[in-house]
Amino acid sequence: MRLAEKIFNERKRLGLSQEQFAEQMEVSRQAVSKWESGQSMPDLDKLVLMSRIFEVSTDYLLKEEDVDSSKGAAKEAEYTGHSDSFKDISSGQVETVRELKEEEIKEYRSACFKASKRISFGVFLCIFGGVLVNAVEMYEHPKGIDTGLSAVPMLICIAVAVGIFVFSEMEMKKYVYLKIQPFLLPEEEKSRLAEEYKGFYKTFVSRVIMGVILCIFGVIIYIVCNAFGEVSMKINSMTIWDYISTMGLLLIIAIAVPIFVSAGMRKEYYDVLMQKNGFSEIRKKERSENMDVMTVVAGIYWCIITAVFLGYNFTTGNWGKSWIVWPVAGCVFSAISIGITYFKSNMKDRL
């Protein structure tokens, strides 16, 4: 029996549609259709994932022999008596996937939701520091005072935010295994999460829309205030409206971005437990392999960005506008992360 037939028969044995199977395999329905019709062959990593889903060995899938597919799993894999482990006869290895306990799930939920609130507040403080910088500078200039006090409130906000981030990271570190190791959920938890996620997703979409609207509204305020500034008296090359427009934009962003962060972190909670999107089995393996590299890169990258930011501002005193470096640095870091993952993936394929 050919691979195409085995894929079709095993999928039917599990009662999966092509769409459902494609979702588990992280491919399109068309890809599954081509596999089952023999028009194309799945890659090696897809074969490994397929063997796990079907609970058969890769040898069974690849060998062209006349084997009853309904007995394929029984012939190629010997169950150890537990619902979460099986023995691969061809390799003689036993692979065990641990089932999460209800207490673990509750603890992770509580930790995630608390962390989302703390980190959202930390992000708010980082951006709100820019509002305070402009407020202090606007006050200093009419008084003729140039003491450099504008940097102080922002640095205090950043210091508090960093403390929040570090504390949250330490609290969540003990749950990293959920993001890099496969696990099983009790059936009742699967059902509960699936139902809960349906309700949450509507909230998630509405929060994203709300955040986008706020950001657009902030830009509108910035443009309108700058228009007023064209006819206003100037203070040290900046009008009062320049400060007001910048503060208004930053304040709205400070409200909008935490909405994105909180919604994203809560969605990640469901993705992790349901092992979907970026936390499927293959993605977990990639994350585990890249974790050490990204930890080093992140440490070096953010230290350099912070040093450049502080060095530039203490030299020029331009605290009011230089806040833009942080969102830009965040986008660049995301690009670096994607680049490292892509590079490692290509190197692995070549080897």
Give pLDDT tens digits along the chain (351 positions).
578 888 888 888 888 888 888 888 888 888 888 888 888 888 887 888 888 888 888 888 887 654 444 444 444 443 333 334 444 433 444 445 677 888 888 999 999 999 999 999 998 998 888 888 878 777 765 554 454 566 788 888 888 998 998 899 888 888 888 887 778 888 888 888 888 988 899 999 999 999 999 989 988 988 887 777 655 555 444 567 777 888 888 899 889 989 998 998 899 899 888 888 777 766 666 665 565 566 667 778 778 877 887 777 777 766 656 666 766 776 677 677 667 666 655 555 454
Predicted pLDDT at 235: 47
> Please, which residues bridge with residue 95 across strands?
86
- Name the 3-class secondary structure at 20: helix
Residue pair 171/157 in contact (Cβ under 8 Å)? The answer is: no
Residue pair 175/109 in contact (Cβ under 8 Å)? The answer is: no
C-alpha 50/C-alpha 215 separation (Å) is 43
Cα distances (angstroms) measured from residue 81 to each of 50, 85, 98, 250: 22, 8, 14, 59
Task: Tell me which DSSP letter residue 351 carries.
Answer: -
Predicted pLDDT at 118: 93
C-alpha 346/C-alpha 209 separation (Å) is 36
Residue pair 158/246 in contact (Cβ under 8 Å)? The answer is: no
Query: Is the pTM for the entire model greater than 0.75?
Result: no
Q: Angle CA(101)–CA(104)–CA(110) in degrees, nearest 5?
A: 145
Q: What is the DSSP secondary-structure string of 262-314?
A: HHHHHHHHHHHHHT-GGGSHHHHHHHHHHHHHHHHHHHHHHHHHHHHHHHHHH
Length of the chain: 351
